Amino acid sequence: MPTHSEIKKLPYTADQMYDLVADVAKYPEFLPWTAAARIRKDEVVGDHRVMEADLVISFKVFRERFTSRVMLWPDDRKIDTEYLDGPFKHMKSNWAFEDAEGGCKVHFHVDFEFKNAILQKIIGVVFNEAMQRVVRAFEARAKALYGTPS
């Protein structure tokens, strides 16, 4: 079961990075292998928001849709995602954002396994590189949205 954890310091505020990652509907504009996104539900539940989102991932000859529950904790600047339906046996991801001198620290963790053994083997070979590419895509999106801080 592949997992990836990363902490990255970026020259943006924690709020900027939180807002960028929370904007799931925009993922197809910049996130590798994300062909489409649709927010099915978006509601406030106490101190957080809960979204249900469909993402279509496209990798080589595979194209799969999956549904996730995304819990947005704006006061804590945390985002938790859990798998509901699609090609995975399981999938969870967590984001946390904290202000740091000169920007913020972004904490990212993902753990998933595909039901399809062939797709799992393909991903397994390039998993770490793929996750680094995803994180770099968020960095590039931040630069496009917020510019290069001086």
CA distance 64 to 56: 6
What are 7-59's pLDDT values in tens digits? 999 999 999 999 999 999 999 999 988 999 999 999 999 999 999 999 998 87
Predicted pLDDT of residue 88:
81
CA distance 2 to 85: 19
Total tally of structural domains belonging to the chain: 1
Which of 64-68, 93-97, 121-125 is modeled with the greatest confidence? Answer: 93-97
pTM of the model: 0.89
Give the confidence band of 150 by pLDDT, cuts at 50, 70, 90: low
CA distance 73 to 50: 9
Q: Quick one: which H or E segment has residue 81?
A: strand 78-85
Q: Is 86 left (phi over 0), alpha (psi -120 to 50) or beta?
A: left
Range of the structural domain that residue 98 is part of: 3-146
The domain spanning residue 30 has which CATH number?
Answer: 3.30.530.20
